[in-house]
A and B are shown apart, each in its own frame.
Chain A
Amino acid sequence: MALILLLSMSAGLVRVVIGPTPADRMMAAQLLGTSGIATLLLLAVALDVPALLDVALIFALLAAVSVAAFTRRRAGADRA
């Protein structure tokens, strides 16, 4: 169980490495959010802390908010 958790974790890690590529940081951030959700779900089972599910919910909300903020930024910059 913990091994699979580590696998998903390393996927997130690779994603962080590509985070600062020029064009698509936002995609990387979105992916990071989703893999963070997966890691949290696995941690919730592995550590026996069911409250981590709520943290995963907040992660999901957060990814949507930050993507929206990012694209809004581009739109505003375009208009100016």
Chain B
Amino acid sequence: MTQLVLLLLFDAVLLITLLGLALAAVLSPEPRRAVMLFIAFGLWLALVWARLHAPDVALAEAAIGAGLGGALMLAAARRAARARRQDAEAEP
């Protein structure tokens, strides 16, 4: 009984934080920060899948969604920042 209540509380915390992270990631103005939040969101979503007794989906989510996707997006953000800076230097 107590365990059930505690697990329910756990789920509530998990859900609220997940929604907050998603909103923050979507609404953040700066690309690098958005990518960081996306990585955290991937980790969190993997936890949710684990809680739902789906370890295989959690594995895929952690590896692809957060790990590889995050690294690739970090590289993309770097190139975007560099291109913008070069444009700004060429402009004046």
Contacts and interface: CB of A to CB of B under 8 A. Distances in A.
A and B directly contacting (CB within 8 A): yes
Contacts, number: 114
Contacts of A9: 10, 13-14
A61 interface: yes
Interface in B57-82: 58-59, 62-63, 66-68, 70-71, 74-75, 77-78, 81-82
B62 A62 contact: yes
B70 to A, nearest CB: 5
B17 to A, nearest CB: 5
A13 B62 contact: no
Contacts of B40: 16, 19, 28-29, 32
Interface residues of B, number: 43
A28 B33 CA distance: 12
A6 B17 CA distance: 13
Given A16-B17, A52-B50, A66 B58 contact: no
Given A13-B17, A58-B63, A66-B71, A6 B9 contact: yes
Interface of A: 1-3, 5-6, 9-10, 13, 16, 19-20, 25-26, 28-29, 32-33, 36, 39-40, 43, 46-47, 49, 51-52, 54-55, 58-59, 61-62, 65-66, 68-70, 72-73, 76-77, 80
